[in-house]
Chains A and B, each alone.
Chain A
Amino acid sequence: MAKKRDYSLVGESTRTAIETGLASAEWYHTDVPRKAMKELMQRSDGPAIRDTIIWIVAILGSAAGIAWFWGTWWVVPFLLVYGVLYGSSSDSRWHECGHGTAFRTRWMNDAVYQIASFMLMRNPVTWRWSHARHHTDTIIVGRDAEIAMMRPPDLLRAALAFTGILDFRYSLPTLVRNAFGSISPDEKSFIPEMELHKVVTAARWHVAIYVAAIVLALYLWSFLPLVLIGLPRLYGSWHMVLTGLLQHIGLADNVTDHRLNTRTVYMNPISRFIYWNMNYHVEHHMFPMVPYHALPRLHELIKHDLPAPNPSMWHAYREVWPVLLKQLQYEDYFLKRELPPTARPYRDEFHALTVPAAAE
């Protein structure tokens, strides 16, 4: 019987990953000529300024709608729009600006990163480091701090994730704990010591704003301030979960080839705006230097070397659902993506812990 996975970042799987060379390993990359890659990596402020203006206007407009129609049923469509903008699109803004690729100008990346981190109830320092680890050790058990669905999958937990409740229940106490100066062993495993004080400072700012929102709600004797600040993390994060879960679930773990553990899915233009093109996720993991607006071009350039993308989110979920059900009984089972004949083959000898059972 296969050993159970230990997802702690300081446990048995961590030691195994380090001993087998899976931690901080060399990963497969599709060959892209330097000239082409240099063009793709080029930064520009234009696309992100345009998208950010649209984003902010839509957020403020829907917030105004909520305030205007508060107390009537007309508020519902505004809540839907505001919730998704606040609770879901902030994730992709956090992500791209955390990489520093959205804008060419550094302070613009930093400003949007800080705002989006607050909207997501994420400590901006902790999550910058956890995401660096996610890129170093993508879906390496015991190393990656951002594995959305562990094995065997907890499907009830996954369903609840769409409501934001679990994330809310984790994120808010974490912020409060950090604000009181407590850093967990897992957090210490990926945040350098010299950065720990910044974790506490950032958490204190976030908590202070939430306290101010609560005081305002009490003063006005209205839920409105909390519906606008904080609670959208509950009622608006479903789109983030819908798109984000597809990044890696059901695929291989403990491999060093993003074609095996990451998924690219074609999506509709609205979801792509909310998600800032992170549906091109294999491409993003292989080349995190490429800004979101250049990912479609990168996709066209390297798709001959990648598994065929899922044509829709519906297709991707239909494909992965039976795999998740099978993982309930046999957690080593996974979906192995087929490569086109034009691709370079997977190097199984590089994947020390590649498990035997795979759905072709």
Chain B
Amino acid sequence: MADWVEACGVDDVEEEDVIRFDHGGRTFAIYRSPDDEYFATDGYCTHEKAHLADGLVMDDIIECPKHNGRFNYKTGVARGAPVCVNLATYPVKVEAGKVMIQIG
């Protein structure tokens, strides 16, 4: 059974931005979209080991800081070279001002 884990407070991440969340030896990226929804993906780019939390969020896109590879952070879909492999996404819910993610 996958666990819900508290990742951060709702105000810890700005609108149209991303922060890093480490848990259980893994790293995740927590996003807040321009329309104030929260999303979560794996923290590393699938191309090379770079923290997506250092990247740029534009609308529904996260751009990797190392090679500018782009993913749709809502679906995890890779949006062109140099990223070819999709990003894992995780269910997110907001409870009592906390962003929770479900980690398998």
Q: Which A residues have a C-beta under 8 Å from some C-beta of B?
A: 24, 37-38, 41-43, 99-101, 104, 125, 128-129, 132, 135-136, 192, 194-195, 287-289
Among candidates A101, A128, A135, A289, residue contacting B81 with C-beta atoms closer than 8 Å: A128
Give the residues in chain B near A101, CB-CB below 8 Å: 68
Among B17, B49, B65, residue most surrounded by chain A Cβ atoms (within 10 Å): B65
Assuming A136-B66, A194-B84, what are 16 further A-B pairs, CB within 8 angstroms? A37-B54, A38-B17, A38-B56, A42-B56, A43-B58, A99-B68, A104-B58, A128-B82, A132-B67, A132-B82, A135-B66, A135-B67, A136-B67, A287-B65, A288-B66, A288-B68
The 9 closest A-B pairs by CB, nearest first: A132-B82, A41-B56, A132-B67, A100-B68, A99-B68, A289-B65, A128-B81, A289-B56, A192-B84
Distance to closest chain B CB from A134 (angstroms): 10
Among candidates B48, B55, B82, residue contacting A129 with C-beta atoms closer than 8 Å: B82
Among candidates B17, B67, B70, B81, residue contacting A195 with C-beta atoms closer than 8 Å: B81
* CB proximity to A under 8 Å, residues B8-45: 17
Give the residues in chain B near A41, CB-CB below 8 Å: 56
Specify the main secondary structure of chain B where it touches its partner. Answer: loop
The residue on A at minimum CB distance from B17 is A38
Distance to closest chain A CB from B43 (angstroms): 15
Q: How far is B61's CA from A104's CA once the two chains are assembled, in angstroms?
A: 12
Give the residues in chain A near B81, CB-CB below 8 Å: 125, 128-129, 132, 195
Distance to closest chain B CB from A1 (angstroms): 35
Give the residues in chain A near B48, CB-CB below 8 Å: 24, 136
* CB proximity to A under 8 Å, residues B49-104: 49, 54-56, 58, 63, 65-68, 70, 81-82, 84
Give the residues in chain A near B58, CB-CB below 8 Å: 43, 104
The residue on B at minimum CB distance from A110 is B80
Q: Can you name 14 A-B residue pairings with CB atoms under 8 Å?
A: A24-B48, A37-B54, A42-B56, A43-B58, A100-B63, A101-B68, A104-B58, A125-B81, A129-B81, A132-B67, A132-B82, A195-B84, A288-B66, A288-B68
Distance to closest chain B CB from A183 (angstroms): 16
Distance to closest chain B CB from A328 (angstroms): 35
Distance to closest chain A CB from B21 (angstroms): 15
Q: How far is B63's CA from A43's CA once the two chains are assembled, in angstroms?
A: 11
A101-B68, A104-B58 given; A289·B63 CB < 8 A: yes
